[in-house]
């Protein structure tokens, strides 16, 4: 079960953090997304600020076909790519997976070609996260 957020979709899994990362990566792959970037927020906060933070990763997911269509429609849309998916440890020991809604990105444009692409991307991200099972987030 998932929760729809103001700007994305979220689910809570009762599996270890590392396993959740593997599962979400595989689920995104099933929907045509590859992971372009992995930002380890915990390590970055420790290195840059000497601050402790929960295990938290930001995955920059990209579906090449959708990205090509979006960039062809509007070159500057690259400022809003890729689609971010986060995985982090919750206070109760569960693991949260949340993906952004690509439709939010195109709301800042006036390009009529982008909403259809964003809708398809959102459907794919949503299917990937729903496929993980889990329970509603927060």
What pLDDT is stored for residue 6 in this prediction? 83
Global pTM reads 0.92
| 109 against 55, higher pLDDT | 55
How high is the mean pLDDT of the chain?
94
The alpha helices in 1-138, defined as continuous H runs, are 17-30, 41-49, 64-73, 102-106, 114-130
The DSSP output letter for 93 is: S
In the prediction, which pLDDT does 41 show?
Answer: 98
Phi and psi dihedrals of 86, rounded to 5? -115, 150
Q: What is the pLDDT of residues 91-121, one digit of tens each?
A: 999 999 999 999 988 888 989 999 999 999 9
Domains, the chain, ordered by start: 3-136 (3.30.310.70)
Give bridge partners of residue 4 from the DSSP assignment: 9
Cα 79 to Cα 17, 71, 74, 76, 83, distances in angstroms: 29, 10, 10, 6, 11
Name the residue among 95, 105, 110 with its Cα closest to residue 125.
105
Q: Which residue has the higher pLDDT, 31 or 134?
A: 31
Least confident residue range of 38-52, 97-111, 116-130:
97-111
Percentage of the residues of the chain whose pLDDT score is greater than 70? 96
Give the pLDDT confidence of 19-35 residue by residue, as tens digits. Answer: 999 999 999 999 999 99
Comparing 42 with 3, the larger pLDDT belongs to 42
Contact predicate 40/18, CB 8 Å? no
Q: How confident is the model at residue 1 (pLDDT cuts 50, 70, 90)?
A: low
Let me know: does 31 contact 63? Beta carbons within 8 Å.
yes
Between the two ends of the chain, the Cα-to-Cα distance in Å is 12
Query: Whole-angstrom Cα distance, residue 62 to residue 46?
Result: 27
pLDDT surpassing 70 at residue 136? no
Going by C-alpha positions, the residue among 119, 63, 60, 85 that lies closest to residue 10 is 85
């Amino acid at each position: 079960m998932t929760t729809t957020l103001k700007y994305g979709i979220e689910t809570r899994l009762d599996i270890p953090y590392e396993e959740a990362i593997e599962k979400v990566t595989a689920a995104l792959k099933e929907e045509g997304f590859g992971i372009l970037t992995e930002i380890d927020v915990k390590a970055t906060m420790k290195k840059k600020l000497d601050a402790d933070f929960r295990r938290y990763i930001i995955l920059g997911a990209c579906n090449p076909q959708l990205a090509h269509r979006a960039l062809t429609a509007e070159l500057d849309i690259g400022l809003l790519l890729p689609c971010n998916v986060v995985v982090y440890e919750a206070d109760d020991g569960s693991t949260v997976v949340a993906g952004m809604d690509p439709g939010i990105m195109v709301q800042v444009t006036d390009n009529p070609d982008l909403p259809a692409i964003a809708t398809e991307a959102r459907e794919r991200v949503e299917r990937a996260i729903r496929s993980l099972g889990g329970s509603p987030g927060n």
